[in-house]
């Protein structure tokens, strides 16, 4: 049975009364914040430690913490623990009025997001530190002395060799080490391709109706136009490429899992875009940003497998491992491999050689496959929890784009997207609207939220999900 009085830290006591343990704990914590005994920024003990101190189940404490985070009393961040929210406590003054009757707490709008459901980032708390450290040690032990020099601008041969084998096996990519260029993230690879295309006389690179503005901005910075292709319920209408004229020399696509709307390009359109590239002499730039994560369908192979001489394949470890590694790769047509490598060498912007060797060891040992399988199960579980929670709270909200990837799209009633985003911000929830990703020339026909369910650590996931449901219409 829970203690009536329990203490942790210095001169801090919680009084728990009544049979409902979780409610009693939440009331006691609220009262400690109201009275000023728990000041803003105070770090609370872990759920395990407090549960042991109070003689109750750890889940009871964890659930109480999660609800108080959702209400704005507490914050929970990976690496920082659970703390009293900066603006949850009443301000102290010399003339504080008597506390009887108890004051009504008015929660202000959070000054910073409490929960992050933006798309594009994996669960960083799940980075396989121990396995990565072992791979790093093995790689450094075996590394030749020349590995610590400037090296080949294409990247370490050890990594390019295991990448060629992995991509053929896992993504159906036709790759040889000499046609792979390792780069410091997808944006770096796209920058290099843009430079080479512009030097070859290409004027325009067509893009999808929805996508990241950073990508079009980078292409524009290389002097390239970015006309948007029309979009319908089956995805990008690639047949419209033929009507763009001779100025379009390439098209940038997320064919396996369109970002952000989530569909896979149908087989007939996959064939059509490759046929266009063959007939026009153009290129398809394939952004395979999260191809490893599929749940309810057979794997969709890379477009590059249809014609390796007409498709530039771009992959990354940013979604499968962590963006901070700055590891990505391009598999290039033979005629472009030398030019792209030369463009990279000219600016000497490369990933660390020890990191490349560690990733080669991590990949070659099977640790990468094990990590991806484990994360696939974790993300699928989160996706299922998201779908179930939305169905229970807002049955009219359609959830789509969930067969693969790390995010889902929640369709909202027409004209409500901005209001929902304002409500989310007020509740301390960072989330994106579909129209944030719409190209400026594309008419607005869809309102919705793009929800990244991979980002929160496990300790904050349920609270983030509750907050999301709270802001849905």
Do 266 and 158 have their domain in common?
yes
Total domains in the fold of the chain: 3
Q: How far is CA 184 from CA 129, 160, 348, 358, in A?
A: 20, 14, 11, 15
CB 455 within 8 A of CB 383: no
Query: Per the structure block, which two tokens stand in for 56?
Result: 């109750």
CB 350 within 8 A of CB 153: yes
For residue 66, count other CB atoms closer than 10 A to its CB: 23
Residue 115 lies in a domain: no
Residue 118 lies in a domain: no
Do 99 and 137 have their domain in common?
no
Under DSSP, is residue 75 helix (H, G, I), strand (E, B) or coil? Answer: strand
Distinct helix (H) and strand (E) counts, the chain: 13, 18
What per-residue confidence (pLDDT) applies to 323? 94
Do 365 and 375 have their domain in common?
no
Residue 119 lies in a domain: no
Among 45, 75, 108, residue at a domain's last position: 108
Query: Per the structure block, which two tokens stand in for 3?
Result: 């203690």
Do 349 and 461 have their domain in common?
no
Do β-strands 311-316 and 328-331 pair in parallel, antiparallel, or remain unpaired?
antiparallel
CB 196 within 8 A of CB 327: no
What per-residue confidence (pLDDT) applies to 37? 72
Do 229 and 310 have their domain in common?
yes
Do 346 and 390 have their domain in common?
no
CATH number, residue 432: 3.90.1150.10
Q: How far is the C-alpha of 315 from the C-alpha of 328, rounded, in Å? A: 6
Do 423 and 360 have their domain in common?
no
Signed CA dihedral, 152, 127, 257, 433: sign only: negative
245, 146, 243, 250: which is closest to 194 by C-alpha? 250
Among 339, 369, 399, residue at a domain's last position: 369
Do 236 and 96 have their domain in common?
no
CATH number, residue 217: 3.40.640.10
Do β-strands 248-253 and 204-206 pair in parallel, antiparallel, or remain unpaired?
parallel
Residues in the chain with pLDDT values less than 50? 1-12, 88-108
Under DSSP, is residue 467 helix (H, G, I), strand (E, B) or coil? Answer: helix
Instruction: Please provide residue 310's backbone torsions phi and psi, each rounded to the nearest 5 degrees.
Output: -120, -5
Residue 123 lies in a domain: no
Boundaries of domain holding 383 = 371-471
Residue 193 lies in a domain: yes
The DSSP letter of residue 222 is: T
Residue 117 lies in a domain: no
Residue 384 lies in a domain: yes
CATH number, residue 12: 1.10.10.10
What per-residue confidence (pLDDT) applies to 111? 55
Under DSSP, is residue 297 helix (H, G, I), strand (E, B) or coil? Answer: coil
What per-residue confidence (pLDDT) applies to 329? 97
Residue 308 lies in a domain: yes
Query: Per the structure block, which two tokens stand in for 51?
Result: 């549960």
What per-residue confidence (pLDDT) applies to 16? 59
Do 138 and 170 have their domain in common?
yes
Query: Per the structure block, which two tokens stand in for 452?
Result: 């990244």
Write the DSSP string, 121-161: ---GGG--HHHHHHHHHHHHHH--GGGGSS--TT--HHHHH
Beta-bridge partners for 407: 452
CB 227 within 8 A of CB 206: yes
What per-residue confidence (pLDDT) applies to 459? 87
What per-residue confidence (pLDDT) applies to 376? 94
What per-residue confidence (pLDDT) applies to 449? 97
Among 324, 344, 369, residue at a domain's last position: 369
What per-residue confidence (pLDDT) applies to 350? 67
What per-residue confidence (pLDDT) applies to 85? 87
Q: How far is CA 204 from CA 207, 208, 229, 240, 264, in A?
A: 9, 13, 12, 14, 24
Do 375 and 418 have their domain in common?
yes
What per-residue confidence (pLDDT) applies to 297? 66
Do 435 and 462 have their domain in common?
yes
The single residue listed with the structure tokens 């990733």 is 359
The single residue listed with the structure tokens 């472009």 is 336
Do 357 and 391 have their domain in common?
no
């Amino acid at each position: 049975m829970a203690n009536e009085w329990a203490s942790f830290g210095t001169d801090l006591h919680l009084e728990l009364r009544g049979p409902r343990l979780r409610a009693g704990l939440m009331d006691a914590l609220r009262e400690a914040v109201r009275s000023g005994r728990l000041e803003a920024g105070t770090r609370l003990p872990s759920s395990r430690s407090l549960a042991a101190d109070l003689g109750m189940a750890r889940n009871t404490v964890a659930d109480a913490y999660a609800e108080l985070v959702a209400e704005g009393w507490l914050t929970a961040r990976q690496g920082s623990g659970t703390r009293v929210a900066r603006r949850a406590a009443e301000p102290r003054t010399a003339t504080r009025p008597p506390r009887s009757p108890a004051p009504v707490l008015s929660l202000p709008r959070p000054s910073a997001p409490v929960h992050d459901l933006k798309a594009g980032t994996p669960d960083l708390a799940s980075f396989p530190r121990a396995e990565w450290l072992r791979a790093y040690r093995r790689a450094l032990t075996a590394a030749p002395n020349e590995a610590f020099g400037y090296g080949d601008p294409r990247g370490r041969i050890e990594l390019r060799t295991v990448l060629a084998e992995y991509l053929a096996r896992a993504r159906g990519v036709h790759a040889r080490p000499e046609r792979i260029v390792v780069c410091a993230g997808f944006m770096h690879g796209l920058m290099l391709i843009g430079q080479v295309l512009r030097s070859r006389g290409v004027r325009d690179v067509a893009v999808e109706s929805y996508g990241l503005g950073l990508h079009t901005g980078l292409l524009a910075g290389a002097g390239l136009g970015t006309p948007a292709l029309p979009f319908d319920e089956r995805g990008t209408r690639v047949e419209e490429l033929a009507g763009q004229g001779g100025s379009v020399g390439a098209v940038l696509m997320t064919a396996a899992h369109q970002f952000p709307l989530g569909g896979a390009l149908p087989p007939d359109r996959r064939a059509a875009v490759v046929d266009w590239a063959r007939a026009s002499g153009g290129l398809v730039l394939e952004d395979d940003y999260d191809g490893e994560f599929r749940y309810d369908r057979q794997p969709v192979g890379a477009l590059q497998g249809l014609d390796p001489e007409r498709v530039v394949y771009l992959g990354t470890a940013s979604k499968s491992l962590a963006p901070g590694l700055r590891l990505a790769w391009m598999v290039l047509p033979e005629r472009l491999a030398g030019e792209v490598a030369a463009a990279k060498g000219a600016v000497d912007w490369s990933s660390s050689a020890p990191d490349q060797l560690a990733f080669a060891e991590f990949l070659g040992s099977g640790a990468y496959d094990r990590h991806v399988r484990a994360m696939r199960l974790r993300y699928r579980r989160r996706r299922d929890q998201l779908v179930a929670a939305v169905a229970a709270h807002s049955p009219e909200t359609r959830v789509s784009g969930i067969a693969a990837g790390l995010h889902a799209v929640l369709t909202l009633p027409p004209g409500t997207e901005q209001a929902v985003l304002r409500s989310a911000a007020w509740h301390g929830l960072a989330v994106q609207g579909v129209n944030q990703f719409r190209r400026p020339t594309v008419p607005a026909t869809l309102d919705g939220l793009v929800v990244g369910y991979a980002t929160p650590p496990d300790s904050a996931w349920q609270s983030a999900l509750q907050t999301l449901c709270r802001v849905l219409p």
